[in-house]
């Protein structure tokens, strides 16, 4: 049993921009179920404060000042979900709605360094038991760059907990101009290439990569890939150096939220032994999105995700005309960079009955698309783990994926794997040609209902729960505690 302070810049259902939020709720819940005591520390964005006030109730447990900023810490138990959130209300976070990291033009907020440094300093104080709560964790688990300075700030404290840092996406590093270190009041001892300096810039993520006792990332394949120059985002050397402390643990799925048998967002529920209601979900979705009716001989194809380069949206733009020419209908949901949004929007406008594009964040629609489409596209150029392919597998919607990172670890190609294992389609090169070849194979197999159903059921029957991975994290916590070095 461990006492774990789990620090994250987003956690479902308080605030979510991507998979990090799902993991920051579902992993702590699984750890709690295994007997650990977990506190999930999240910044008090207006949306998060709203949710806890309206839905869960809250209790003020601490008030403190960091620099000149007053911080109020709220405790919120989420009923039936085995999670206790600690939500930090302070001016740096609580006065600004919208995306936590970027403004409405998709530019980083200019004070991100100050805001997330403050969050890391709060993490440090809570980790050291300095806040008068009579609760000190034995493990601090930090996630991605917004929390990565905490292990650095804790370094050298004799009474510090063990520190674990998880890389959910190495491409986001929290890089700031060199002078920022003075503005944040960081010690000069951090200013060298074996510490927080990264080619003349201040790197938040290096705080985690260098100072945490143990490192993890979210799939075994990605753990290998980030040690290579091609996928290491300039940090492969650091990660090779720390190779023996780095492990890849596949994310799980919070199956209470993502189960087609009980999902309240669906017009009809279904399970692997009886897929008839999946067809009703499809009919409803077609109507809801005002797509053409009929065309059943070709699959309805879906995509959900952030519209950013990482997700291979340019590849989707390239192959869409071909899918349209085949008579497929396509349901797209996402938001992201203006340029990619516009390219998709142009195609959707040209083919209103065949392509539906919803440019927003819509949790309920994400569930209905996952259930209602026949085939899910995920051509990510890189993918640390990816949750959407697992959701679609669980919903009997075979995915077509670029074979990389977590996609490689979860999707098994129909032509390469035995009939009792295959669950989707994959391609090796992130090019329109290889994506299109995989789609062509999928469209062909769709014509063979018995074989297709086999693929669906294989995906639906795999155990993607957190059980196994949460235990793997507990092993990491044990070894981090052993590793914790004397100051
Ligand atoms: P990433 O963390 O890189 O964004 P993941 O596949 O790990 O990718 O997780 C994405 C999560 O965000 C999934 O839960 C997905 O359903 C959700 N998501 C992304 N964009 C949207 C959107 N526009 N509407 C609803 N859910 C979305």
Between residues 304 and 103, the one the model is more confident about: 304
Q: How is the chain split into domains, by residue range?
A: 3-252+466-485, 276-460
CA of 247 to the centre of ligand 1 (A): 24
- Kindly report, residue by residue over 320-344, the tens digit of the pLDDT: 999 999 999 999 999 988 999 999 9
| Axis crossing angle, helix 338-350 with helix 313-325, rounded to the nearest 10 | 0
State whether the Cα torsion 44-71-213-481 is positive or negative: negative
What's the rounded mean pLDDT across residues 344-372?
Answer: 96
- Looking at the domain 276-460, which fold is it? Rossmann fold (3.40.50)
CA of 408 to the centre of ligand 1 (A): 18
Return the CATH architecture of domain 3-252+466-485. Answer: 3-Layer(aba) Sandwich (3.40)
CA of 221 to the centre of ligand 1 (A): 20
Residue where the block lists tokens 């596209």: 377
pLDDT at residue 255 greater than cutoff 90: no
* Cis bond before residue 237 (omega within 30° of 0): no
- Kindly report, residue by residue over 369-402, the tens digit of the pLDDT: 999 999 999 999 999 999 999 999 999 999 999 9
160: which DSSP letter?
P
Residues near 83 by beta carbon (within 8 Å), at least 6 away in sequence: 25, 28, 29, 32, 38, 40, 77
Protein residue with its CA nearest to atom 20 in ligand 1: 305
Query: Which atom, in ligand 1's list, is nearest to the CA of 406?
Result: 7
Q: What's the gap between Cα 148 and its chain centre?
A: 16
| pLDDT for res 487 | 42
| pLDDT for res 105 | 83
What's the rounded mean pLDDT across residues 470-479?
Answer: 97
Q: Is 334 in the pocket of ligand 1 (CB under 6 A)?
A: yes
Burial class (CB in 10 A: 0-12, 13-18, 19+), 420: exposed
| pLDDT for res 288 | 97
Domain 3-252+466-485 and domain 276-460, same fold? Reply is yes
Query: Rounded CA gap, 159 and 135, in Å?
Result: 13
What average pLDDT is seen over the chain? 95
CA of 378 to the centre of ligand 1 (A): 11
The preferred substitution site among 258, 303, 333, 387 for testing ligand 1, maximizing ligand atoms within 8 Å of CB, is: 387
Residues near 225 by beta carbon (within 8 Å), at least 6 away in sequence: 231, 232, 382, 404, 405
Confidence of residue 42 (pLDDT cuts 50, 70, 90): very high
Confidence of residue 79 (pLDDT cuts 50, 70, 90): low
Confidence of residue 81 (pLDDT cuts 50, 70, 90): low
Between residues 106 and 310, the one the model is more confident about: 310
Q: Are 195 and 210 in contact (CB under 8 A)?
A: yes
Q: Label residues 80-90 b or e (16+ Cβ within 10 Å = b).
A: ebbbbbbbbbb
| pLDDT for res 251 | 96
* Residue among 163, 96, 92 nearest 123 (CA): 163
CA of 225 to the centre of ligand 1 (A): 22
Q: Are strands 375-378 and 300-304 parallel, antiparallel or unpaired?
A: parallel
The preferred substitution site among 388, 392, 397, 410 for testing ligand 1, maximizing ligand atoms within 8 Å of CB, is: 388
| pLDDT for res 80 | 61
- Kindly report, residue by residue over 276-310, the tens digit of the pLDDT: 999 999 999 999 999 999 888 889 999 999 999 99
Between residues 48 and 254, the one the model is more confident about: 48
CA of 16 to the centre of ligand 1 (A): 8
| pLDDT for res 77 | 79
Lowest-pLDDT range of 13-22, 201-210, 262-271: 13-22
- Kindly report, residue by residue over 113-158, the tens digit of the pLDDT: 999 999 999 999 999 999 989 999 999 999 999 999 999 999 999 9
Token output for 283: 């009919």
pLDDT at residue 210 greater than cutoff 50: yes
Query: Rounded CA gap, 71 and 289, in Å?
Result: 44
Protein residue with its CA nearest to atom 19 in ligand 1: 305
Query: Which atom, in ligand 1's list, is nearest to the CA of 334?
Result: 23
Q: Are 141 and 249 in contact (CB under 8 A)?
A: no
Q: Is 363 in the pocket of ligand 1 (CB under 6 A)?
A: yes
- Kindly report, residue by residue over 435-461, the tens digit of the pLDDT: 999 999 999 999 999 999 999 999 999
Q: Rg for the chain (alpha carbons), in Å?
A: 23
CA dihedral 185, 190, 195, 196 (to 10 degrees): 20
The preferred substitution site among 168, 305, 360, 382 for testing ligand 1, maximizing ligand atoms within 8 Å of CB, is: 305
Confidence of residue 484 (pLDDT cuts 50, 70, 90): confident
| pLDDT for res 330 | 98
Q: Compute the residue count for the chain.
A: 487
The preferred substitution site among 8, 13, 16, 19 for testing ligand 1, maximizing ligand atoms within 8 Å of CB, is: 19
Residues near 366 by beta carbon (within 8 Å), at least 6 away in sequence: 304, 333
Query: Which atom, in ligand 1's list, is nearest to the CA of 12?
Result: 14
* Residue among 405, 410, 406, 387 nearest 27 (CA): 387
């Amino acid at each position: 049993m461990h006492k774990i302070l789990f620090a994250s810049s987003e956690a479902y259902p308080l605030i979510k921009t991507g998979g990090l939020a799902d993991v920051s709720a579902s992993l702590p819940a699984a750890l709690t179920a295994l007997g650990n005591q977990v506190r999930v520390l999240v910044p008090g964005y207006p949306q998060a404060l709203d949710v806890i006030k309206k839905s869960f109730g809250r209790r003020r447990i601490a008030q403190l000042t960091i620099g000149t900023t007053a911080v109020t810490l709220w405790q919120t138990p989420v009923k039936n979900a085995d999670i206790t959130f600690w939500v930090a209300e302070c001016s740096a976070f609580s006065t600004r709605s919208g995306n936590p990291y970027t403004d409405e033009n998709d530019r980083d907020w200019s004070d991100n360094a100050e805001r997330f440094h403050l969050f890391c300093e709060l993490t440090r104080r809570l980790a050291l038991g300095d806040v008068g709560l009579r609760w000190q964790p034995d493990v601090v688990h930090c996630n991605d760059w917004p929390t990565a300075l905490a292990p650095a700030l804790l370094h050298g404290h004799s009474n510090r907990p063990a520190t674990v840092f998880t890389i959910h996406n190495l491409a986001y590093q929290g890089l700031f101009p060199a002078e920022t270190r003075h503005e944040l009041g960081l010690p000069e001892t951090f200013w060298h290439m074996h510490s927080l300096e990264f080619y003349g810039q201040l790197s938040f993520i290096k705080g985690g990569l260098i100072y945490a006792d143990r490192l993890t990332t979210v799939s075994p394949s990605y753990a290998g890939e980030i040690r290579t120059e091609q996928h290491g985002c300039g940090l492969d050397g650091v990660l090779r150096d720390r190779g023996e402390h780095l492990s890849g643990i596949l994310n799980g799925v919070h199956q209470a939220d993502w189960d087609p048998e009980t999902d309240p967002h669906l017009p009809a529920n279904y399970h692997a032994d009886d897929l008839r209601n999946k067809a009703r979900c499809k009919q409803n979705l077609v109507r809801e999105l005002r797509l053409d009716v009929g065309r059943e001989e070709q699959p309805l194809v879906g995509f959900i995700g952030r519209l950013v380069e990482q997700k291979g949206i340019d590849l989707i733009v390239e192959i869409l005309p071909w899918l349209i020419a085949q008579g497929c209908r396509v349901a797209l949901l996402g938001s992201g960079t203006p340029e990619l949004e516009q390219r998709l929007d142009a195609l959707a406008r040209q083919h209103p009955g065949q392509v539906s594009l919803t440019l927003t964040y819509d949790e309920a629609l994400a569930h209905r698309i996952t259930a209602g489409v026949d085939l899910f596209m995920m051509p990510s150029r890189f993918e640390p783990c990816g949750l959407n392919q697992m959701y679609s597998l669980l919903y009997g919607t075979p995915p077509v994926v670029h074979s990389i990172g977590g996609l490689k670890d979860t999707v098994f190609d129909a032509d390469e794997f035995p009939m009792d294992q295959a669950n989707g389609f994959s391609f090796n090169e992130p090019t329109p040609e290889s994506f299109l070849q995989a789609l062509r194979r999928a469209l062909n197999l769709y014509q063979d209902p018995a074989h297709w159903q086999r693929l669906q059921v294989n995906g639906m029957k795999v155990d993607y729960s957190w059980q196994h991975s949460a235990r793997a994290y507990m092993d990491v916590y044990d070894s981090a505690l052993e590793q914790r070095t004397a100051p």
